[in-house]
Amino acid sequence: MGEIVFWAIIRCAIVIPAIYIAKSFLDYTTWWGFGILAIYAVVVHPIAIHYHLFLDRNKEILDSTLCSSCKNFERTAVLCSVCDKHPTREYLPCEGLQWEPNFIGSPEEKEM
């Protein structure tokens, strides 16, 4: 996920000066439209595409591993927060020794 944010920042650092330079070549009303379209096409749309690719790449880990049902699992980074390592289908960072259930139900279920 950090890679998506990193490249979004790089794209913004390129697009914003380009839009500012285009300001001197375009009419004011055209410049605003061009700026919004450029930000969407170069920054926002690639973020959405890469996020969906990230979810597709990690779907199996997020849905069917022991780590995904642990309270120490960071879903947005696909990371075990205890071991600070990324689990895979074949590799569990803590080998299941530090697994704690992630309760998603009612508060009564947590007390059991």
Q: What is the pLDDT of residue 53?
A: 93
Each residue's pLDDT, cut to its tens digit, for the chain (112 residues) gives 788 999 999 999 999 999 999 888 888 888 888 999 999 999 999 999 999 998 898 888 888 888 888 888 888 888 888 888 888 888 888 887 888 887 765 455 445 4
* Whole-angstrom distance, CA of residue 42 vs CA of residue 14: 9
Rg of the chain over Cα atoms, rounded to whole angstroms, equals 21
The dihedral formed by the CA atoms of 86, 91, 95 and 96, expressed in degrees to the nearest 10: 80
Q: What is the pLDDT of residue 107?
A: 52
Q: What is the pLDDT of residue 13?
A: 96
Distances (CA, A) of 25 to 28, 29, 43, 65, 71: 9, 12, 22, 54, 54
